[in-house]
Structure 1
Amino acid sequence: MKHEDQKTMQLTLDMTSPPLPPTSKPSPAWQVGPIIVGAGPSGLAVAACLSSVGIPSTVLERNTCIASLWKHYTYDRLKLHLPKSFCELPLMGFPEDFPKYPTKDQFLSYMEQYAKKFGIEPRFCTEVVQVHYDESIEGWRVCLSNGEELASKWVIVATGENAEPVLPEINGLEMFEGRVIHTCRYKSGKSFEGEKVLVVGCGNSGMEVSVDLCWHNAIPSMVVRNTVHVLPMEIFGFSTFGVAMALLKRMPVKLVDKFLLSMSNVILGDTDKWGLRRPKIGPIELKNHAGKTPVLDVGALAQIKSGRIKVVGGVKEITKDGAKFVDGTEERFDSIILATGYKSNVPSWLKDGGRLFANDGLPKTPFPNGWKGENGLYSVGFTKRGLLGSSMDAMKIANDVHLQWSQLKP
C-alpha cells in the first residue's frame, strides 16, 4: 500500500471511529455536616443548635452579611412588633438592657453576637443556583453560581418566606412618571417630604411606612383593598401577642378571638368606620388557616382618624401622574410605594421542591410538621410564625440530625 493510501485510510478511520467518552463530572466537595442555605435568623438558629450538639455546618449566604433582609431591606424606624421574649433565638436571649421592643439596629447587634457566640462563619457572596438529590452519591448536590459544587447528606433550606419582594401587576403602573419603589427599598420618609404618596398595601409594613411618611410631612394615601384585622400592640400594658398565647393555653381559639376583638374595640374603636373592615373570621383563626398576620397598630389608626393618612379602596388603574380607583375617583400622586410583601424563592433553585415544598415555595405540610422532608432535606423559617416558629423548627432539625449523626459515627 502506498504511503498516500495509508494516510487516507488513517484519516478515514479517525473520522469514523466512535468518540472518546466524555470525562466524568468532577466529584462535589463533600461537607462533613449539613449545608444550610441562608444566613438570616433562621439559618443562624439551626447552625447554633447543631453547633451545641457538636455538629459542624456549612452556611451559604448570597449577600454580604448575616440577616441581610434586616440590614439592607428594611426601613430605619423598624422595631420588633413583638416583645423580645418572643423573638429570641435558641440558646441565647437578648441583652437585659435592651428595651421591650428592640430597634432594628439592636436586633442586628443581637444577630452579630449570636453568630460570634456559636462560631458561625457563613460563606458570603455565595449564591446557590440549584440543589437536587443524587441517588448515585446518596446525598444532595448544591451547585453554586461560581461553578463550584458541594454535597452533603443533609440540606437545610433557611431562605425563609421573605426572600424576594412581591411586585404586583397593576394596570398602567409602567406609565407612572413619578417614583415607584417597593418597601424593601424604603428607608425613611425624609425624601418624600411634601409629596402625595400612594401606599399600596395595608399590612404591618404599609401601616408603618404610612406613619413614617406622616412624621416627615408627606401626605400618604393607603390602599385597603380587602378586609384586615388591626389589633392594639398592647392590652393593659401587656403584649397583645403574649396575652393571646397565654389565653390559648386555657381557652379555644374562637373564645380568644372574641376577647381580642372586644379589647380592640375598647382600645381602638370600631375600625370599620375608618375604612378598615374586619374579616368575618377571627384574627388567630385566620392566621392559623390562611397564614394572614393581623396588623399591630403602631400609631397608624390615630393618623387615619386625624385625616393625615387617607384610606382609599382598590386601584383600578395607574395614570402617568396618579391613580384611578374602583369607586370611580381619581387622584394625583408624586410617588408610589408598594407595601406588597415578600415571597419564597425556593422554586427557583430547589429541584422539584425536594418533594417538601409546593409550587409557592412553602412546605406542603402545614405547621408544625413542615420542617422535615425526605432524604435529609429540612426547612426552617417557613412557619408563618415569625422568629418563634423558626426557633422551634431549628431545635427539631438539630435533634433529628443529631440522631443520624450518632448512628454514622464509628
Structure 2
Amino acid sequence: MQEQASDAGSGSPTRESSAGCCLVRGPIIVGAGPSGLAVAATLSQHGVPFTVLERSDGIADLWTNRTYDRLRLHLPKVFCELPHVGFPADFPTYPTKHDFLRYLRSYAARFAVSPLFGRTVTSARFDAAASLWRVTAVSAADGRATEYASPWLVVASGENAEMVVPKVKGRERFAGEVLHSSAYRSGERFKGMRVLVLGCGNSGMEMCLDLCEHGATPFMSVRSGVHVLPREMFGASTFGVAMKLLKWLPIKLVDRFLLLVAKMVLGDTERHGLRRPKLGPLEIKNVTGKSPVLDVGAWSLIKSGNIKIVPEVESFTGDKGVRFVDGNEMDFDAVVFATGYRSNVPSWLKDGELFTEDGKPKQAQAASSWRGPNGLYCVGFSGRGLLGAGADALRAAADIAGRWQAVAAAAAAAGAKISSAYSSPPQGVDAHGVVAPA
C-alpha cells in the first residue's frame, strides 16, 4: 500500500492518498477531550506537528453531549487547569460545565488545535518492520476507512469513553423510562414521579439532589460502601487540604483526618444507609480510581428523608416493579443508571502492554504509566482527574519532542552529507564532472 506524507495537526488538513493511507508528521493523538487537547497544546509549544483523531463532531464530547445541566467541576478551578493556560479570573471557584466548555474551546483555538472530527478509530497496531503505528479510522461522513501511520501514538480517548449499564434481570418487562446518566439533563420532566437512581457516586448524588429540587421523589440504590466528604473544610476545598497534608503525612493518617472532620461536619453517614468502606477515601482512590463523594447538598436531603436510600436491585418484577436484594419490592416511574463509564481502548488497541482487558492501565501507580512500548503514550488514565492528565500530557509531549528533534537532527545531518557529496567533486574529477588527466 503506497503511503503519502501529511502535515496534519495544528490547523493543517490531512492529505489522504487514493489508497486510503497517509504517513503523518509527528504523533497521532486519539481523542479531542481535555487530555488530547493538553498533549496537542504542549506539542505545539515544542514545535512538533501532530494529528488528532476524534470520533464525535466537536471537542470534549463527554462534557458537551453526555452531562447533566447543573454539573460543575467538583474541584476548585486551580486543580482543573490544563497546561500553559489558567481559567479566567472571573470564572467561579467551581466552574459550570458551560464555563469549562468555553475554556476548552478557547484553549484549542489558542494553540491552533484542529482535530479531524468524525473519525472513529477501529484499530491501532504497531508495524515492527516499519517501526510505525498504523491507526485505522472510519469517517462518519462517508464510511471510508483511512490508515494513518506514525512512529508515535498517544492514547487520549479517556476513562469515560463508553457508558456502563449492568445487566438486571427482567429489565425488558419494565414499562417505565430507563436511561443512563449520560442521557439525563434535568429533573424537570420527572416532576411528581418516583425515580430510582442506581449508583451513589458524585453523579448519582447530584442527580438525586436535582430530582428533589424539581419536585420528584428520588430513591438511591446503594450496592457498596461510599465515602461522603464535605466539599470544603476550614474555609478551603477538601481536596486542597488533602493535597497539602499529603506533603507531610502518610496517606492513612490523612484519611483518618478527613474522616474525623467529615463525621464532625456531616455526622454518621452509616445511620442513614451509607456504609463507609474499610479503606480510607484517598487509599480507595489510589487503588481503584473511584473518587469519594464531595457533597454539594444531597446529604442534608438524605438525612431529612427527601432522598431515600434503598439496597442493591435484584430484578425488575413487572410494569413498574423493582425487587431489591433484601426481598422488598417498590414501584417506580423511571430508573436512571448512574453507573459510570469505562475506557474503550481494548476494543481498538491491538498491540501494547499498557491496558488490561477492562480498559485500565496495568501500571496505574507506576511513575512511567504514561509511556508504553514502541512509541506508545497514555494520557488521562492515571485516575487523578484533570490535574493528572495535565501532568501526563507534559511528560508525554516532552518525550515525543525529544525523539522528534533527534529524528530531525539525524535527517538534517544525512541531508548535509548528501549535499556535501554533490558539492565537492571526488578526487580526480573537476567541478564539471570531467575526469582530470593522469
TM range, normalised to the smaller chain? Answer: over 0.9
The amino acid of 2:218's aligned partner reads: P
Amino acid at match of 2:326: D
Letter in structure 2 aligned against 1:98:
F
| Consecutive unaligned residues in structure 2, runs of 5 or more | 4-18, 139-143, 413-438
Does structure 2 retain, via aligned residues, the 8 Å contact 1:70–1:108? Answer: yes
What SS is found at the alignment partner of 2:145? coil
In the other structure, the counterpart of 2:85 is 92
With 359-368 and 185-194 compared, the bigger mean Cα shift is at 359-368
Q: How far did 1:355 drift?
A: 2.0
Equivalent residue, structure 2, for 1:56: 49
Deviation of 1:135 (Å): 1.8
- Paired position in structure 2 for 1:47: 40
Residue 175 of structure 1: how far off its partner (Å): 1.3
Instruction: Measure how far apart 1:402 and its partner are.
Output: 1.2
**Secondary structure, counterpart of 1:357 in structure 2:** coil
- Three-state SS of the structure 1 residue aligned to 2:371 is coil
Other-structure match for 1:305? 303
Pairing of 1:128-147 with structure 2 (within 5 A): 128-145=121-138, 146-147=144-145
Partner of 2:353: 355
Say whether the 8 Å CA contact 1:77–1:103 is kept in structure 2: yes
1:118 to 111, 118, 123: 111
In structure 2, C-alpha distance between the alignment counterparts of 1:205 and 1:288, rounded to whole Å: 20
Are 1:252 and 2:236 matched, yes or no? no
* Superposition pairs of residues 92-241 of structure 1, within 5 angstroms: 92-145=85-138, 146-241=144-239
Q: How many Å separate the matches in 1 of 2:206 and 2:118?
A: 31
Secondary structure of the equivalent of 2:119? coil
- What is the distance in 1 between the residues matched to 2:80 and 2:119? 27
Query: Where has structure 1 moved over 2 Å in runs of 4 or more?
Result: 23-28
* Residue identity matched to 1:220: P
Which amino acid is the alignment partner of residue 341 of structure 1?
G
**TM-score after normalising by structure 2:** 0.87
Counterpart of 2:79 in structure 1: which amino acid?
F
SS in 2 for 1:267: helix
Amino acid at match of 1:90: P
1:380 — aligned with what? 379
- More deviation in 285-294 or 200-209? 285-294
- 2:72 is equivalent to residue 73 of structure 1: no
For residues 380 and 371 of structure 2, the distance between their equivalents in structure 1, rounded to whole angstroms, comes to 12
The alpha-carbon deviation at position 86 of structure 1 amounts to 0.1
**Structure-2 separation of matches of 1:230 and 1:128:** 38
- CA distance in structure 1 between the aligned counterparts of 2:197 and 2:240, rounded to whole angstroms: 30
Matching residue's letter, 1:339:
A
In the TM superposition, residue 24 of structure 1 has moved relative to its aligned partner by 8.0
Aligned-partner Cα distance in 1 for 2:292–2:89: 28
Give the drift of 1:163: 0.2
Identity over aligned residues, as a percent?
A: 56
Matches of 1:324 and 1:309 in 2, distance apart? Answer: 19
Quote the residue 2:340 is aligned against.
341
CA distance in 2, matches of 1:30, 1:136: 15
Answer yes or no: is the 8 Å Cα contact 2:20–2:146 preserved in 1: no
Which residue of structure 2 aligns with residue 370 of structure 1? 369
Alpha carbons 1:381, 1:389 under 8 Å: kept:
yes
TM-score normalised by L of structure 1: 0.93
Q: 1:28·1:141 contact (CA, 8 Å) conserved in 2?
A: no
Q: Does the CA contact (< 8 Å) of 2:2 and 2:21 recur in 1?
A: no
- Whether the 8 Å CA contact 1:165–1:342 is kept in 2: the answer is yes
Q: Shift of residue 27 of structure 1? A: 7.7
